[in-house]
Amino acid sequence: MDYLEPAAPQGMAPYRSPGEPREAWLALAASIDADVVRYFLASARCGCFMQAARSLNIKATLLRKRLAQLEERMHRSLFSYQGSVLALSRDGQQLQARLITLARERRLPVQEQPLIRLAVAESILHDILGRDLIALLRRNASVRLDIVSIDSPFALQMVEADVVLWLAGVDSPQPGPGFVTHPPHALARLDYLPHIAKRYSRLAARPDTVDDLADYMLVQWQPDRLVDALQPWNRLVEQRLAGVVQVEAYPLMLEMIRCSACIGLLPRYMSCFDRGLTALPGLFAEDMQRQVWMAVNAETAHPQEVQMIVAMVLNTFEERREWFGAER
């Protein structure tokens, strides 16, 4: 829709019906639909139709359609562009003032959004879901989302959530959440391998055996110490008398591998997530594998909003299926 003032000779006032008093059109403000009032005021505050649509949790096309209908009804151009900046026209400013006054008189309530809780394994949140979660929030700025990071089986048992993603055995989702869920869904199988930063390792000198790791510092994310599937690596770390560091923060472990010539245990997909990291296969005879599981709370109070989160998760793993192709 066109938010420029209607074409008219320079210096003439915007269109109004013949004989219409200059302020009479503002009397229509009291009869504007409540949703349209919200759309108009949000657009005026944001100065951007896209941001207003995100804050209202609606599509930008719907927002602009309803505002175009409002302009047609009021016989006024309510918005204009000053360069590339969206601003209210003079009539738009008058309507905004009138609607704000009416809103205070009516005390229109803010529409409360349901609170959705997402509990997710910390590594999955950081490596796989983070970017798409941010994109989801950009599109739905009014959503209420509580994101809980899970870093241990104990934390998984204690958390209460609408959607939960966790790491468990390849053949079984146990131990799983401590609340009743619908049947868990297996999303991806992960192979774990030692990783090193490419810039600290020449191809000809990369370690080929466990004994070769003696010349490198090892770094371990402490929650992995509790994981039975990672015991080959855990035993190696526990036997170290020197050249080993334990960290609580997952991002810090990644940074130490990237920048400190350390070797750490990571899922094989990390070379897709960070092209500066490379896996070191063949060091351990035993496979180290885990499965990503997802489940939905069987007693969630907001199934429609929960489905939005579930759809985002499924789409994310589908888009990254090549990351896990070598895992199986």
278-319: pLDDT as tens digits: 999 999 999 999 999 999 999 999 999 999 999 999 999 999
CA dist 47 and 289 (Å) reads 50
- Contact call for residues 45 and 38 (beta carbons, < 8 A): no
pLDDT tens digits, one per residue of 128-170: 999 999 988 888 777 889 999 998 888 898 999 999 999 999 9
Domains and CATH numbers, the chain: 24-106 (1.10.10.10), 115-325 (3.40.190.290)
pLDDT score recorded for residue 138: 81
- Contact call for residues 68 and 1 (beta carbons, < 8 A): yes
Give, to the nearest 10 degrees, the angle between helix 34-46 and helix 60-74.
110
Instruction: Write b or e for each residue in 276-308: b if 16 or more Cβ atoms lie within 10 A of its Cβ, otherwise e.
Output: ebbbbeebbeeebbbbbbbbbbeebebeebbee
CA dist 98 and 88 (Å) reads 14
CA dist 12 and 178 (Å) reads 70
Rounded to the nearest integer, the mean pLDDT of the chain is 87
Helix (H, G, I), strand (E, B) or coil at 77: coil
Rg (CA), the chain: 28
Please determine, for residue 13, whether its predicted confidence score (pLDDT) is greater than 80.
Answer: no
Please determine, for residue 248, whether its predicted confidence score (pLDDT) is greater than 90.
Answer: yes
Q: What are phi and psi of 72, to 5 degrees?
A: -65, -40
pTM, whole model, 2 decimals?
0.69
184 or 4, which is more confident: 184
